[in-house]
Each structure stands twice: as structure tokens, then as C-alpha cells.
Chain A
Amino acid sequence: MSGDGQGKRHWFDDDAGPVVRPYAMTRGRTTSPAQHRLDLIAVVVTEPHADDPEADHSLSPEHVDIVELCRGTPQSVAELAAELDLPIGVVRVLIGDLVTEEMVHVTRPVPPAELPDESILRDVISGLRAL
């Protein structure tokens, strides 16, 4: 597709959007049964037993990326989307697949309509002061 990028003008350009449509990676699905709407700051953690995701041929390269990225350092949904350069919606579906496969689990942030514990808020304030 590329390679000789200099000499020849591409018939497509950035305006054409990605060459592979993002939702092709989810096989057209926009929701996943496993997942409620994952918050942008929900944290994805790779399960310890998911140590060789590439061996699982039902997983796409993007699934494998998520499992690998969240192994050492759990990552938020927003960070994964930015890191993989995929729309949030696509990442949500992929994470849902991985939850179903029990390759990762997701920690839920403080539920909406509830403020976190006052002690946590105090920790946030002192943490910010110490920056």
C-alpha cells in the first residue's frame, strides 16, 4: 500500500479516513453484551493467567495489544483509545470481548452521582499541593 510513498501519488489521502474502517475490527458490532457503558476512566487490568494472548486465534491484533498494554500497568479506557489510536466505541467493544474471554477485568470508577470518600478527596488535595 505504501512503501514507495515518494514517487507515486496515493489515490487516497487523509481526508478519505482510515483505510480500514474502525468498526471492521469489531466485526461491525457497536456494543458488547459483557459491558455496560465503560467509563472513560474505568481501568482495564490484564488477568495474570492471560500470559500468551497471541496463542488465542480468536483474538485480533488489537485485542492482543490491549492485553499486553494492561499487563504491567493497568490503563484507563481513554488511554487505551489514545494509545491504539482507535475510537472509544471500538475500544469498548474490544474490551468487552476480553472481559467475556476472562483475559482482563475492569475496575469501575466511583459510581456517578456519588462523591468519593472525603478521605480520598483530602488525599487528592494534598497530592495536588505536593506536585
Chain B
Amino acid sequence: MIFGRSERGKPPVEPVTLKILVAGGFGVGKTTLVGAVSEIKPLRTEEVLTEAGRPVDDTSGVEGKHTTTVAMDFGRITLREDLVLYLFGTPGQDRFWFLWDELASGSLGAVVLADTRRLEDCFAAVDYFERRSIPFVMGVNCFEGSARYPVDEVRQALDLDDDVPVVLCDARDRESAKEVLIEVVQHAMAYGADRREPVTT
């Protein structure tokens, strides 16, 4: 996207940029959620899972998925000319943990997406954000064909702190994805009010 040159002496608007992370296990719908609200097609680096990757990437329960995001994908929401929100999908596999610190630094908060068929896949992400005191919201992606569980059961199964919001969502649905993001910002506000102290990593 290249725009015409701006007039001389009239500098372009320099927006305030914020980021929210979308984390969770492999194939849980992170890119889908980013794509549902982003104004651009998520920019991404994807690699087709090859035979060599199969033993490492357990696809049981998500057989319909043939590719996995190995670097990162992100979307953009321009809220105002001078206020832009970026959504970063975190790499789904544990071997890309090293990319997380960089993504997490300076982020507003995070969504941890969970699939009730493979709840254990999001344990690592929950741990990660808890340890770094990064505010996060648990989004339970309601896949077709997966059993629905009450929010309280999910909270118990994950042993979440009481103040962590748990929301049921549909990652494909724009309104639903918006609600999840609003929840993250509200939670970050409440969280920030509680403990305005520097986070050390």
C-alpha cells in the first residue's frame, strides 16, 4: 500500500501503537481470530507441515488443519488515525518460545485461546502470562463438535485465578472476537489499577 507523497511541511500522523497477543495451542484458531477483526489480511509466515514435522506436531483432534504458523502472524485495527492496535498471534509450538518474549514485551495484554477438546494445550501459555504478570483473558473457542462446558468448569480445570476473565467465543465471528478484545483491554485496565508496578522478566 503506497500512498502519494504528503505535502511538504505537513508531517504524517504518527500513531500511538498498542499490541495484544493471541496465544494458545496449535490449531486453536489464533490466526482465525486475528483475521476476524483485522482490517488487513493477517500478514503471516506459514509453513506447510511436512512429513518431517508430523511426529512433533500432534494433530490428533485437529486433523482438518494442514498448516501451522511457524513464525508469527499479525493483524491491524486502526481505531483512529492516531491510534492503532496490532494483534499478534504467537507461534503455536513450544519450540518457538524464544519469540514470545519479544512479542510480550510492551503488550497491553493477551488472549489465551483454548479448545475444550485439548485444554492442556494452553497450559503453557497460561503459565507464561501468569509468571510475567501480563494480564490475559481466557477465550474458549467453541468449535463445532466440541462439547460445551460451563465457564466455571474451564476455570477449575485450568486452575485460573478468580480475576482472570473466561469468555466463550467463536474465533471466526467478528463480533465475538471484538468482545474478547474488549475484555482484554478492560481486564488490563483493572489489572493496571491494582498493581501499577514495573514488571520484571
Contact = CB atoms under 8 A, between A and B. Distances in A.
Contact of A131 (B9, B14, B37, B200): B37
Contacts of A120: 16, 18, 83
Contact of B17 (A41, A51, A73, A127): A41
B147 interface: no
A125 B15 contact: no
B contact face: mostly helix, strand, loop, or mixed:
mixed
Interface stretch (B26-34, B123-131, B159-167, B191-199): B191-199
A79 B18 contact: no
A111 interface: yes
A107 B178 CA distance: 27
B191 to A, nearest CB: 8
Contact of B106 (A48, A73, A110): A110
Nearest to B200: A113
Interface in A33-92: 37, 39-43, 45, 48, 51, 68-69, 71-74, 76, 78-79, 82
B193 to A, nearest CB: 8
A45 B14 contact: yes
Contacts of B8: 48
A115 B107 CA distance: 9
A128 B188 contact: no
A123 interface: yes
Nearest to A121: B189
B141 to A, nearest CB: 19
A129 B177 CA distance: 11
Interface string B68-110: 0000001011011001111010000000000000110110100
Contact of B85 (A37, A115, A124): A124
A13 interface: no
Contacts of B62: none
Contacts of A107: 14
Contacts of B4: 72
Nearest to B175: A131
Most chain B Cβ neighbours within 10 Å, of A69, A115, A122 = A115
Contacts of A28: none
Interface string B16-59: 11110000000000000000010000010000000000000000
A79 B76 contact: yes
21 contacts: A41-B19, A42-B17, A45-B11, A51-B5, A71-B6, A73-B12, A78-B43, A78-B86, A82-B74, A109-B16, A109-B18, A112-B105, A115-B188, A115-B189, A115-B196, A116-B18, A120-B18, A120-B83, A123-B83, A125-B186, A129-B178
Given A115-B108, A131-B37, 5 more contacts: A40-B19, A74-B13, A79-B43, A121-B192, A128-B85
10 interchain residue pairs of minimum CB distance: A127-B79, A72-B3, A82-B43, A112-B106, A115-B192, A41-B17, A113-B198, A112-B105, A113-B199, A107-B14
